Structure 1
């Protein structure tokens, strides 16, 4: 299964009453596919506020995304959680919805051992025929999927990639020993270009909601050997890469990117509690980011 170089972790649009806004979701998907050049889209991941989506809402999103994409991009369902059996059931239902792959976040709060992590992911992967992408984001889950555990999981036939937010040292170690065909995606926009340099294949991005076309160009320039041009684009885009997570202090995703989308003409609503709406200070900071300012 080819998921491409640029994968967007899509926000979930909400209306003024906090329900999924399906009309805006349709517009958003068209933006990501046509304008921002996403190769694949993650639906109901943590950027999509999966912890506060109901089971039925997730299934509705999976079906909607598959229909809307109509084969133009791959749809990856966020089905991971800290409940192995629940993740198995949701993954099997997602498969029935016609999605192309699964994104499985490391089980948060439980703090399992590395053996527990291995057995968790193995049980989910073996319950489905779909390709599986691991998701390592210690800052949110409190647990790191080690290099050794990642490589061990990579031996499973349908564990095909990892989205890893760890440092470049860990990405390098995985890239050095991963089996042929196993792909590494940076989970940190600001590390997209450096990650490519140490062996990553692509990026699972938040910033691509706003600057996906430019990110695709950056990746393509690098792959074509024009490293200087890729570096220049990285430098120009870096304020958005960083600003969408620190505006001007650490701000939980997807609060800033939802506001950024409204600034560029696609209001996707606010966030669900326990995330709080963007503050006036944060909103002003996002609006002042040069690459966003140029699109308002």
Structure 2
């Protein structure tokens, strides 16, 4: 068994699943998406996860996305895949991820069932124990672990991290302050910049940034301001960019994915706005609102030349 790998801190890259007008996966656009994230300094690539429409990918598409990510990353940064759904499917994806050579995987919630803690333990332990890859458990929806369950899973050296998309701060405090640095903690809340000030004080030193797909310089500026006490700049970023985008995101279910593609199209990245059902595309009114916010973002907070 390999020793648990160190996971990257900072802002984590979650590419989308670019699709053409017929809904077919566009691998060239995916390459451009990943290369853009790498050029902007993101510290890892999480491929075929929630923002990559994991729920809607065929097995062939899933494999292609992993292969593209590994090819573009070229070991410059670690690559993590998404695995989840029913147990047999999750185990197949974990095995494939290992064969293709990713560094680890993010375990997404199981399909449909509202399980008891023992069921969650059996589900997660089967996946984590099936490979030598680093595993990150995603705490959200129907996968919410209590402290005793998470402590049982610590027997696996492969378990490297916990990503929180639930927002239960009582539980987060109990988990982080009891378990400490045995795990690395990731903020996976929708529009994670909104909540990161609360999370960073608990030891969450990494977060997934949806807006990094189209305004990564804002993500970097925000995180630097947060960590270095630049309160005035932080407030300006909240007022003019982060909170306005978050207000649009909350207008419709599924905007956590489709709004990313809209933002990418607005800034000229070739991914299209096509999404697969049950996710719906961004409505024209909200698209126009996002355009206005991004115009303000580039005017008030210009990107520094490299």
Distance 1:42 1:26, change over 3 A: same
**Aligned residue in 2 for 1:107:** 110
Residue among 258, 276, 288 paired with 2:261 = 258
Is the Cα contact below 8 Å between 1:74 and 1:100 reproduced in 2?
yes
Distance 1:162 1:100, change over 3 A: same
Distance 1:219 1:230, change over 3 A: farther
Is the Cα contact below 8 Å between 2:47 and 2:69 reproduced in 1?
yes
CA distance in 2, matches of 1:76, 1:229: 35
1:10 aligns with 2:11: no
CA deviation vs aligned residue, 1:23-43 (integer Å, no higher than 9, x gap): 1111111111112x2111111
**Aligned residue in 2 for 1:28:** 33
Q: CA deviation at 1:220?
A: 3.7
Is the Cα contact below 8 Å between 2:120 and 2:143 reproduced in 1?
no
SS, match of residue 136 in structure 2: strand
Is the Cα contact below 8 Å between 2:254 and 2:279 reproduced in 1?
no
CA distance in 2, matches of 1:287, 1:218: 20
- Count of aligned residue pairs for this structure pair: 288
Distance 1:52 1:274, change over 3 A: same
1:60 aligns with 2:61: no
- Equivalent residues in 2 for 1:215-226, closer than 5 Å: 215-223=219-227, 225-226=228-229
**Aligned residue in 2 for 1:127:** 130
Flag as ranges the 4+ runs of structure 1 deviating above 4 A: none
Distance 1:283 1:91, change over 3 A: same
Is the Cα contact below 8 Å between 1:192 and 1:202 reproduced in 2?
no
CA distance in 1, matches of 2:252, 2:292: 15
Calculate the TM-score normalised by the size of structure 2.
Answer: 0.86
Distance 1:288 1:249, change over 3 A: farther
Q: CA deviation at 1:235?
A: 2.1
CA distance in 2, matches of 1:31, 1:244: 24
SS, match of residue 103 in structure 1: strand
Q: CA deviation at 1:16?
A: 1.5
Is the Cα contact below 8 Å between 2:163 and 2:186 reproduced in 1?
yes
RMSD of aligned C-alpha atoms?
2.2
Calculate the TM-score normalised by the size of structure 1.
Answer: 0.89
CA distance in 2, matches of 1:160, 1:79: 15
CA distance in 2, matches of 1:59, 1:15: 18
Is the Cα contact below 8 Å between 1:240 and 1:292 reproduced in 2?
no
1:178 aligns with 2:160: no
CA distance in 2, matches of 1:112, 1:245: 29
Q: CA deviation at 1:7?
A: 0.9
SS, match of residue 214 in structure 2: helix
Residue among 25, 40, 51 paired with 1:47 = 51
Gaps of 5+ in 2: 1-5, 300-306
